[in-house]
Structure 1
């Protein structure tokens, strides 16, 4: 039974549905006070069916009404729940004329109902519930978009994600996969004796990254705070405190731009392991991503959405130094000994904008970010980056211009940076001061105090969960893997 279009279908149906609700309440039934005790989700229920044993197994399932097919005294209906769709079979001679009439006349697409009945196999081979009893537990007062054919307006998809989840199977499955990815990451790390901890979201100093924070004020303490931009510095305090393997999956907040790969509120995994280093993190992240492929995706090969190239997680992962990539791209073996003016000219020669006010490392990193990183589709560890890019990593022993780090690039974007963590408090202070430009208020003095009590050598790594989900699900934008991405407020309708 499809719903009849009109010149203002939403308004008309809203009025009709409210009328049905009023009639129900006048008759002594309020669906919003009803409930049902389910025994199974849809797919779990269907898995109970044994071939040749029709009408033996009883189940109670519930979900949103998504299709009607009325055939005189019987109707085939489908409902949708968290696991998917299951078909129901209603018969007037089973339910009685009054209940069957209520079913036919009182219900609408989008209503939520629970049913109890037995499993059987239809002539077309579909496992179905033969309904013995049903309960309407929520009346949908507004119709769903486009009569169940889909939701295509991107603005509506993100503002009314609940509608997107109802009508777009691809979105529902993608966001379900995200939940499974996060769950598996936790189990993977816990199996390796990492402890999950929680660190403050409100912080006095925005440390651990170079980003613009959101600012707020605590009235009781009469103190300004920022929303954290990184999990790093508090997790390292845990290493000082004797927790040798720790991780946190939490929200970070950066008051910066919105793009296909950036959302002001995003989810990070940060993990720290004492007595390890950046190479230990290489092994950890490679094992983690392969485990996700095996256990969540069920494949080691995925198709990169933008290029169409097949990414092979089971193959050999490339390792290459940052400097070698720059020299290869510029064709200049002496690039890193060139003057700033020569580097400005070199960047411009490659067709990129180069601001003469930029630092030399910024000029070089413009080449990496614009011309090299987007081309690295297969898993690639880019190692030994310029020390100016991160003040929290150990300086390379035989090259004081670089640090012992890697950036794991997959699908043309950074998925996981990792370091051999700096644990020398004097070197750390000097690097913080260089980054802060003499502004002591921007330095986390308590973190430096913690380091002076002794932090073991360690490897640390961050993984952007949203970016990882973009990669593993083939999504086109970060908004497609975040349930509720940031949007400008709109007037409620």
Structure 2
């Protein structure tokens, strides 16, 4: 935008003030939202609406104006012989695209079939000092779309629709769990340890306590403490932070929905998650069939369940049970010419190495909703071991269109076994695995007071929205994604 354009708008604002026009008035009373007004019958009078001017088509004695917001738009007709010469000239000379106006008038339909409000009176509601992007070319600069999301929301209908879907989805998820008698709670973001997931935390310093703290990577251990305290069904919309690499499927700051049910196992949760996804689809998009990767996928059909071992063997020919150490598994992947990208692959524990192999060779091929089950125990430090095969855990992940959207398991509630696993994780962390878990004595103390059988689940709002809207990147699914400082 040129300096001349800004100066021109500033001069118009000053001219308004000199004529006694309030450039930034206090309020304007409306009686119809824009999306409602376009559905009104012709002839209805006294319609009051307001919005940002997104289009102006000037003719000699009349002007067609389009005002809009994220919910919709409305065409207006301003005629000189209906509003008077003064207001008509004021609009022509002082009002720009991007400004806000409030209008009152009656509804009619143009010859072209467009529902229009015929202005009887208008009020100026706010001057934009910067010109909007050209609506015909849109906002094509990706960096600008993320840094100035407000412009993206103004100019890009897909962004508007996606963000409205996010709000609908959050509302549907909350309603679903409340209807299932889960209680919504809140747990701390600032924590002494980084428990609850295999991830590297962000660190900060608490000045008053003079201590270093982590921003939570997951709410898990605190939610399970609530089960110890007597809650039986809890869930949380938890803002979480993971200091990991950037990718189309990862955010460093994201919103996780996590919950736990006493006396359940992972199969109970598997059933609940299927019901939740179908509920969310119906209440967000009005259908259980969506298009993913150019395929129409009906989520109401049966979902496949496949074991971790079976999936990797099917896609790579590697039976992970035959390679009990990280080094043996690395050698086998290299023998098969499978390149695993990592800064220091030899620092990874066997669980994280298997996870890396799966993400490289298997996950991208899972398009239809698939339950991935029977994870190796060294990949799941907080999950309950399977009774028949203690090397596996009672866990599942829901994978759709190459992305993990739900993670769930029967929880480990044995404090002796939990201490043993956390000690193993601590050794991995001391050997350089930055994503291994820390020892968490406070959580272990809570476990020692006794826990019932528990099943838990967690998923990211942004990841779920990304998959269900078939978005190219997860940054498209958050209102204000983090960008590099200019």
Tell me: CA distance 1:231–1:33, structure 2 relative to 1, closer, same or farther (3 Å): same
Which of the residues 137, 140, 143 maps onto 1:149?
137
Q: 2 CA distance for matches of 1:453 and 1:434?
A: 23
Aligned position for 2:475? 479
Aligned to 1:6: none
Cα separation, 2, equivalents of 1:433 and 1:189 = 35
Q: 2:16 is matched with which residue: 16, 20, 24? A: 24
Structure 2 equivalent of residue 468 of structure 1: 464
Aligned partner of 2:391 among 392, 401, 404:
401
Structure 2, unpaired ranges of 5+? 431-436
Judging changes above 3 Å, is the alpha-carbon distance between structure 1 residues 197 and 100 closer, same or farther for their aligned structure 2 residues? same
- Counterpart position of 1:82: 70
2:151 is the alignment partner of 1:163: yes
1:120 is aligned to 108
What does residue 444 of structure 1 align with?
440
Moved more, 384-393 or 323-332: 323-332
Match of 1:4 in 2: none
**Alpha-carbon distance between aligned partners in 2 of 1:359 and 1:255, rounded to the nearest angstrom:** 19
1:327 to 313, 322, 330: 313
1:44 matched to 2:29? The reply is: no
In the alignment, what sits opposite 1:368? 358
Partner of 2:380 in structure 1?
A: 390
Partner of 2:321: 336
For 2:454, the equivalent position in structure 1 comes to: 458
Name the counterpart of 1:318. Answer: 304
**Aligned residue among 416, 422, 425 for 1:426:** 416
Residue 134 of structure 1: which of 122, 140, 161 is its match?
Answer: 122
Deviation at 1:220, TM superposition (A): 1.6
Give unpaired runs (5+ residues) of structure 1. Answer: 1-8
**1:215 & 1:378 partners in 2: Cα distance?**
38
Q: Whole-Å Cα distance in 2 between the matches of residues 359 and 250 of structure 1?
A: 28
Identify if the C-alpha distance between structure 1 residues 119 and 156 changes in structure 2 by more than 3 Å, giving closer, same or farther. Answer: same
Tell me, in whole angstroms, the C-alpha distance in 2 between the residues paired with 1:143 and 1:451.
59
Contact 1:13–1:142 (8 Å) recurs in 2: yes
Q: Distance in 2 between matches of 1:230 and 1:119?
A: 52
**2:198 partner SS:** coil
Instruction: Tell me how large the CA RMSD over aligned residues is.
Output: 1.9
Change (3 A) 1:401 1:268: same
User: Deviations 1:373-415 (Å, cap 9, x if unpaired)?
Assistant: 1111111101010111111110000111111000111101111
Q: Go from structure 1 to structure 2 and tell me whether the alpha carbon gap of 1:342 and 1:206 turns closer, same or farther (over 3 Å shift).
A: closer
Q: CA deviation at 1:439?
A: 8.0
**With structure 2 as the length reference, what TM-score do the two structures score?**
0.93
Give the stretch that moved more between structures: 111-120 or 374-383: 111-120
2:219 pairs with 1:231: yes
Q: How far is 1:168 from its partner?
A: 0.9
Is 1:378 equivalent to 2:368 in the alignment?
Answer: yes
Q: Residues 250-269 of structure 1, C-alpha deviation per residue, up to 9 Å, x if partnerless? A: 21011221111112111111
Deviating more after overlay: 424-433 vs 409-418? 424-433
Judge conservation of contact 1:395–1:401 (CA < 8 Å) in 2: yes
Gap change, CA 1:357 and 1:226, over 3 Å in 2: closer
Any residues of structure 2 matched to 1:169-248 within 5 Å, and which?
Answer: 169-248=157-236
Q: Go from structure 1 to structure 2 and tell me whether the alpha carbon gap of 1:159 and 1:15 turns closer, same or farther (over 3 Å shift).
A: same
